[in-house]
Amino acid sequence: MESIWFKPEFSNEIIQNPDILDQTQNVITDIISGRIEITTLVENMAGVLTSKEVDNREKGMRFFTKILTELPQDYLSDIQIKFISKFYVDRLKDNHKIIPVVLEGYLAVIDMKNYNMLNCGEFFTTLFREVPCQSQVRQDRYHIYLIVQKLLEKDVNYIKTLGPDFVYGVISSIEGERDPRNLLFLFNFIPTFLKHIPLGHLTEEMFDVISCYYPIDFHPSPNDPAAVTRQDLASALIPCLCAVPEFAEHCLVLLVEKLDSSLRVAKIDSLKLLAESCKTFTPESYKPFLKTLWSSIHREITHKTDNELKMAAHEALSALVSRLATTVNTDQEFENFVKGIIISIQTALASSTTASQFSQSGKILLTTANASKESCYLIVKCMVPAIAAYYEFKTSSKLQIASIEFLGDLYDLAKHWNVVKELDEKMDEILQLCLLAVSQTSSNYQIAGFRTMIKMAEVLKSNLILPFVEVLTYNIQHSQDSELLKISVEAIHAIAMYNPEIIMNLVVKGKCELDNLMEDKINLQKRLNLLTNLASIDDFTTLIIEEMLKIITENQESAPKVVEALNESMSDTTLYTEEKITEIESDHGLIDSVVNWLMKEIKLGTCEESYNHGFTLIANTISSLPAEKQHQIILKYTKELIDLCKINDMNFLVVESLYLSIHENLYDVVIKDILSLSLRLSLNSENGTVRMKACVLVAHFLNKAEHGQKFDSLYELLKDYLSSCRRDDLTLCPRLIQLYGWITKALIMRSSGQFLFWLEKILVSITNEDYAKEGAEAIHLIVTDFQEYLSRRQHCRITPFYKQRMFQSFSNLTAKLDLLNSQVKEYYLLSWAYILAKTPKSILNNHPNRDVRIKSLQCLFEIAKVYPTSVLLPYKQDVLLDIAPCLDDKKRLVRNMAVQARTRWFLVGAPGENKDN
């Protein structure tokens, strides 16, 4: 039987059938199969489309529009689309109730593959004449804007041919728009429109329509779940106001006016607009406004308290100077502007009475200098002699030190803009002033002078090197100021980078020669630190490293100090790259020397602290080596060390340092032997350090083992060993809890769900009065980051958010426990304190389980109320004053508790004082 849409009676069916819209897919199937032409369908719908009843016509148009939206976009031919387009244009003249569905339908038409842009001319003419945009509802206005955008994107060249009438139509459509979502759409679209469509004599009209919204004054509805914010609108509006050069005069007049406004947001928006405008407006546009602009910028940039306003002013100044700099070779306007800034700031600098005032004025010059190569040249050229004179004139040490630091910043900018050679004479003036500063007895002067000199080491001339080095070597030999010593070492290192021969003769083979060092026991460590620092430079590496390894091998008394110096310097990744450490190990056998020295020291039974640096040095060196090299080294020593561990547990510390930093893909059968040894010592060694290091190594193996068989093998070995332990040995329990802590940490960091098994064991210990303290310490261990253990440098697996997972797991496991009224309350709360202190507030605030949030609150209250102990004090702000006020539950109560707790903590005296006081 033939479907109803094949017959003229179809119009009546549309009118009478309330479910007719459900039939569109069947109609589309017949259209695509060729059983009915779309033009025939329109003819059969003539009755409903021309009905005298508006509601009937609207229903017919809605049915046909739904057909168009569901048809494949490549199905209709250009002739069919032309027919449909004309049909929809005619419908624009219909009743206002019909307009919404007409707009929806035309959006579907222009998305068709064969849509011809020639169809849109008549559409826009009729649309702008017949449909007053701002009289339509929000959604229909949006559809009008969307049609303009889509057609502009489809063929911008044709849209240009529509001329001023089209532009006027767009202006009329958007004028008066008030809906924030529509405005946000328009503000994002208008810059594209303006850049492609000439405005001609309508430029001022378009700017007036846009600028009436400036500055944005809008407050979103509190009930809107996805509200557009004032900031969203303001950020989108700014590019509209300066989208084309033709807006320059109108925009700058408006901008200057709003900069003088008393409204803070108007000032900030205007400064942002100024910065944005510099991307579009010509430099000549700003000439009539420069004095006024600088005056306004200067006023806001020196604001005492509003950092956002100051930052916006700095950004505006930078953008303006950068834009004006493009005219440096055509006129004097740019140079005059920069010199005006210099004169203003020189006055401010001269009248500065505090370092803060000096710094604030100096930042203005630095912003200006950073804006362009040309402004940098002018400011450095003018300001270096001015600051040198200022240094002589000012007697305040803080101001003199600030001026030296300012010169260092100017050098940085000169280097950035590659004008150092052009300003060679000025660079010498800065370095002369630095030398004057470092010649002072005050460490503050010296530190400031050396910091600036370090920046400028590349341009330090030979005639100044010797005076600097004399001061530096004197500091190394005699200064007791740790900060001055550190900066002195850095300064010699900086000079050596560019003048290795001079430093080799003056320092390495001179006053700090290794043979001479051994004689001066008091200053040995300081000069060793200098030499190990210099060893990172290629020209010094071989000489210094070979001599130091010789001392480690032959001089028992001085070896610990050499190892300490090497460890301190080589731990600094800014000095020693992985490639450099690998080179040192390959060329000089650093690990061999240190391992042999350690085994000898352990055999002699010397103080444990004397060789701790050796363990760290080995671990860090191993971490920098490729896997193949690591494998060779550990195989070389493993068997011997396992045998030595049977004699003296302390030899395990060497094992741990060798295996701690191996790559995660390094797996060998011998690792099972090391794991077994680690497990045995973690529980049975009488040395606390050995037990802890054994636990650490177990954790490293579990954390780094590859997923699958390798991990499963080690995990089974672990469980088998622990299941064989005696259950009646009470001395074993605290040691087991420590081991459980490290195992849990290793597993949760690699995102292994097996951590829960071990966490439950720790929780059981917390509920036991005899072992609650050890359980709390295990929790602390799990949530604490250690630079020397389970770190990325040691190639460990560290999944993001493992601390959040720890919070969720601990809170779930304790949800049904009532430990707040038990004998272990203190250690239970202590565990919560450790966890909450490391958990982001957002996790607490958004936890899906209300009971967990309440539980967290209860613990927070108890921590604040009952336990102002020395252990909990470090967590007071993170746990109570910071986290608690952000929780959703019982906010007022939490705030009150926070205030009470704050008062209580301030009143508490020395840790350990009676809680009831």
Q: How far apart are CA 573 and CA 855, in angstroms?
A: 44
Give CA 778 to chain center in angstroms: 31
Query: What are the structure tokens assigned to 899, written together?
Result: 């205030």
The answer to whether 211 touches 241, Cβ cutoff 8 Å, is yes
- The lowest-confidence range among 52-61, 639-648, 838-847 is 838-847
pTM: 0.73
Report in angstroms the alpha-carbon separations of 69 from 24, 44, 76: 10, 19, 12
Angle among Cα 500, 504, 508 to the nearest 5 degrees reads 140
Q: What are the residue ranges of helices labelled H in 355-442?
A: 355-371, 373-393, 397-416, 424-438
Q: Which amino acid is at 719?
A: K
Q: Tell me if residue 797 falls in helix, strand or coil.
A: coil
Helix axes 443-455, 397-416, angle to 10 degrees: 10
Q: How far apart are CA 152 and CA 144, in angstroms?
A: 13
pLDDT classification of 785: cutoffs 50, 70, 90: confident
> Which residue is listed with tokens 């303001």?
234
Rounded average pLDDT over 386-413 = 91
Give CA 841 to chain center in angstroms: 18
Q: Which amino acid is at 172?
A: S
CA atoms within 13 A on the CB side of 917: 13
Over 90: is that where the pLDDT of 144 sits? Answer: yes
Peptide bond into 215 cis (omega under 30): yes
- Tallying the residues shown for the chain, one arrives at 917
Phi, psi angles (nearest 5°) of residue 547: -70, -40
What is the pLDDT at residue 596?
92
Q: Which residues contact 194 (CB under 8 A, 6 or more apart)?
A: 206, 240, 243, 244
Query: What are the structure tokens assigned to 243, written together?
Result: 């989208």
The answer to whether 382 touches 349, Cβ cutoff 8 Å, is no
Give the tens place of pLDDT for each residue, 9-32: 888 888 888 888 888 898 899 899
Q: Which residues contact 740 (CB under 8 A, 6 or more apart)?
A: 758, 761, 762, 765, 778
Over 70: is that where the pLDDT of 897 sits? Answer: no
Q: How far apart are CA 490 and CA 498, in angstroms?
A: 13
Query: What are the structure tokens assigned to 844, written together?
Result: 């607490």
pLDDT classification of 864: cutoffs 50, 70, 90: low
Q: Which amino acid is at 848?
A: P
pLDDT classification of 907: cutoffs 50, 70, 90: very low
Give the tens place of pLDDT for each residue, 337-352: 999 999 999 999 988 8
Neighbours of 599 (CB within 10 A): 19
Helix axes 627-647, 590-604, angle to 10 degrees: 10
pLDDT classification of 885: cutoffs 50, 70, 90: very low
DSSP states along 271-296: HHHHHHHTTTS-GGGGGGGHHHHHHH
DSSP states along 97-151: TTHHHHHHHHHHHHTSTT--GGGHHHHHHHHHHH--GGGS-HHHHHHHHHHHHHH
The answer to whether 100 touches 121, Cβ cutoff 8 Å, is no
Q: How far apart are CA 812 and CA 806, in angstroms?
A: 10
Write out the E strands in 623-718. none
- The lowest-confidence range among 80-89, 95-104, 853-862 is 853-862
pLDDT classification of 874: cutoffs 50, 70, 90: very low
Higher pLDDT, 1 or 870: 1
Q: Which amino acid is at 676?
A: S
Higher pLDDT, 95 or 869: 95
